[in-house]
């Protein structure tokens, strides 16, 4: 157990989605990559019956009692409450003590880089170590998903929490639990984030998209045997009259992205023979589907993708729910040129690397 006089630091990375945008909540496959932008949580015993929190980036603070039932406060620190509530529901922790907590992060909030998942994972990693809960990284990821989805009511899938907790590039089959996970060592050097600086709440627009997808699936199941993992576009076309036009378009986009993700996974599984130009092309093809079929891109994101490709990127796409946030471009050897092009197109460029480490205790 940590010495009560010492402050201990824990961190977790943000992530980009390389392949499989809007697939995780449909229980399909995704390929996220943790990036070297991290959220750091510091904890120190305070000898009180409360948890006191300060955030450097938000310039705000919070305090809540641990001597009575913990409830959400409808503020930006509910992520911390939600993890504790989830752990208590599962009888994982019953020996809470008062803590002073500091939060700092290099992940832009609301940018599609999973700042919320990074905070959840860093905090859960801290509690796991401080109270000797003996949770592995996959259990931490699942707890963080439950906290965000079940307790906070965010319409997220499991990708963000697993990517942040495990680190590196992973292939994740979201049909579980248990979830099938593969780790890849592909050299994705030359990653550039292009931040549109358009901030959005992922929850409301994501709810609209999910409702269209779910209603389309429900209507298709009334007229034909339906399996989203296997249905072809030709089969969808034959059933077009049975669903609304927007449902058809969203399901078409889902099938396109599903197949592109499967192609990327087949390439990533080849040891030492990865085809980076192909992997870049698959990024851009996803962007086409996200823009034209799922309709979650916006002109600011489109312009950053176009600028990146013109400057020499092998491929580029939005990352996150869309409607704002960031793109990710793959441009090995052209990082500076693409970064300049993104800045000239009105975005903010961040040259980043894949972070092989997930949630961890800082030395």
* Residue 298 in tokens: 């916006």
Determine if the peptide bond prior to 178 is cis (ω within 30°). Answer: yes
CB atoms within 10 A of CB 312: 16
CB atoms within 10 A of CB 269: 12
Across 22-37, average pLDDT: 96
The structural domains of the chain, with segments of one domain joined by +, span 8-186+356-361, 191-352
C-alpha to C-alpha distance for 113 and 107, rounded to whole angstroms: 7
Across 188-206, average pLDDT: 84
C-alpha to C-alpha distance for 159 and 48, rounded to whole angstroms: 36
* Residue 314 in tokens: 């092998």
Q: What percent of the chain has pLDDT over 90?
A: 83
Q: Is the pLDDT of residue 109 over 70?
A: yes
Confidence of residue 155 (pLDDT cuts 50, 70, 90): confident
Q: Is the pLDDT of residue 4 over 50?
A: no
What pLDDT is attached to residue 60?
84
Q: Is the pLDDT of residue 207 over 90?
A: no
Q: Tens digits of per-residue pLDDT, 222-268?
A: 888 889 999 999 999 999 999 999 999 999 999 999 999 999 999 99
CB atoms within 10 A of CB 217: 18
- How far is the CA of 229 from the CAs of 29, 120, 248, 262, 291, in angstroms? 9, 30, 16, 11, 22
What pLDDT is attached to residue 2?
42
Q: Tens digits of per-residue pLDDT, 59-69?
A: 789 999 998 89
| Strand order, beta sheet including 315-319 | 315-319, 326-330, 191-195, 348-352
Length of the chain: 363
Please, which residues have CB within 8 angstroms of residue 324's CB and are 6 or more apart in sequence?
Answer: 110, 111, 112, 196, 198, 199, 200, 298, 300, 301
> Which pTM value belongs to this model?
0.93
Class of domain 191-352: alpha beta
Q: Is the pLDDT of residue 187 over 90?
A: no
Please, which residues have CB within 8 angstroms of residue 109's CB and are 6 or more apart in sequence?
Answer: 57, 115, 199
C-alpha to C-alpha distance for 6 and 156, rounded to whole angstroms: 35
Domains 8-186+356-361 and 191-352 share a fold: no
Q: Tens digits of per-residue pLDDT, 112-122?
A: 899 999 999 99
CATH architecture for the domain at 8-186+356-361: 2-Layer Sandwich (3.30)
Across 320-334, average pLDDT: 94
- CA 120 distance to own-chain centroid: 12
What pLDDT is attached to residue 224?
83
Q: Is the pLDDT of residue 14 over 50?
A: yes
What pLDDT is attached to residue 1?
36
- Burial pattern 56-93, b for ≥16 Cβ within 10 A else e, equals eeeeeebebeeeeebeeeeebbbbbbbbbbbbeeeebb
Please, which residues have CB within 8 angstroms of residue 345's CB and are 6 or more apart in sequence?
Answer: 194, 303, 304, 306, 307
For the chain, the average pLDDT equals 93
What pLDDT is attached to residue 273?
75
End-to-end CA distance of the chain: 15
More confident residue, 281 or 207: 281
Please answer whether residues 11 and 360 qualify as being in contact, where contact means their C-beta atoms are separated by less than 8 angstroms.
yes
Q: Tens digits of per-residue pLDDT, 300-309?
A: 999 999 999 9
What pLDDT is attached to residue 336?
97
Please, which residues have CB within 8 angstroms of residue 281's CB and are 6 or more apart in sequence?
Answer: 314, 315
* Residue linked to tokens 């509690």: 127
Please answer whether residues 277 and 314 qualify as being in contact, where contact means their C-beta atoms are separated by less than 8 angstroms.
yes
Q: Is the pLDDT of residue 291 over 60?
A: yes
In a 3-state reduction of DSSP, which class is residue 361? strand
What pLDDT is attached to residue 226?
84
C-alpha to C-alpha distance for 167 and 52, rounded to whole angstroms: 28
Q: Is the pLDDT of residue 351 over 90?
A: yes
What pLDDT is attached to residue 201?
62
What pLDDT is attached to residue 259?
98
C-alpha to C-alpha distance for 157 and 22, rounded to whole angstroms: 8
């Amino acid at each position: 157990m940590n010495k009560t006089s010492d402050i201990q630091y824990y961190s977790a990375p943000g992530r980009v989605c390389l392949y499989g945008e809007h697939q995780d909540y449909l229980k399909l496959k995704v390929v996220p990559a943790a990036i070297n932008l991290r959220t750091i949580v510091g904890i120190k015993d305070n000898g009180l019956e409360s948890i006191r929190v300060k955030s450097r980036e938000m310039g705000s603070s919070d305090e809540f009692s641990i001597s009575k039932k913990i409830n959400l406060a409808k503020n930006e620190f509910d992520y911390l409450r939600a993890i504790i509530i989830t752990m208590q529901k599962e009888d994982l922790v019953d020996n809470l003590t008062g803590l002073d907590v500091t939060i700092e992060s290099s992940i832009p909030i609301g940018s599609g880089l999973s700042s919320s998942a990074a905070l959840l994972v860093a905090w859960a990693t801290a509690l796991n170590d401080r109270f000797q809960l003996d949770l592995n990284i996959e259990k931490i990821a699942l707890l963080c998903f439950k906290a965000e989805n079940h307790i906070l009511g965010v319409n997220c899938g499991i990708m963000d929490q697993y990517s942040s907790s495990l680190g590196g590039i992973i292939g994740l089959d979201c049909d579980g639990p248990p979830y099938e996970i593969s780790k890849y060592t592909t050299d994705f050097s030359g990653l550039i984030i292009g931040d549109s600086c358009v901030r959005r709440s992922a929850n409301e627009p994501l709810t609209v998209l999910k409702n269209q997808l779910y209603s389309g699936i429900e209507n298709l199941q009334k007229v034909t045997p339906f399996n989203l993992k296997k249905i072809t576009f030709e089969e969808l076309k034959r059933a077009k009259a049975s669903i609304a036009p927007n449902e058809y378009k969203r399901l078409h986009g889902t099938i396109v992205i599903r197949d592109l993700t499967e192609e990327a996974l087949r390439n990533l599984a080849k040891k030492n023979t990865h085809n980076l130009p192909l992997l870049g092309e698959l990024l851009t093809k996803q962007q086409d589907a996200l823009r034209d079929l799922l309709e979650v891109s916006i002109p600011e994101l489109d312009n950053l993708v176009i600028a990146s490709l013109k400057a020499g990127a092998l491929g580029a796409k939005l990352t996150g729910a869309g409607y704002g946030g960031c793109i990710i471009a793959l441009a090995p050897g052209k990082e500076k040129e693409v970064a300049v092009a993104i800045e000239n197109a009105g975005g903010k460029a961040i040259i980043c690397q894949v972070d092989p480490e997930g949630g961890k205790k800082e030395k």
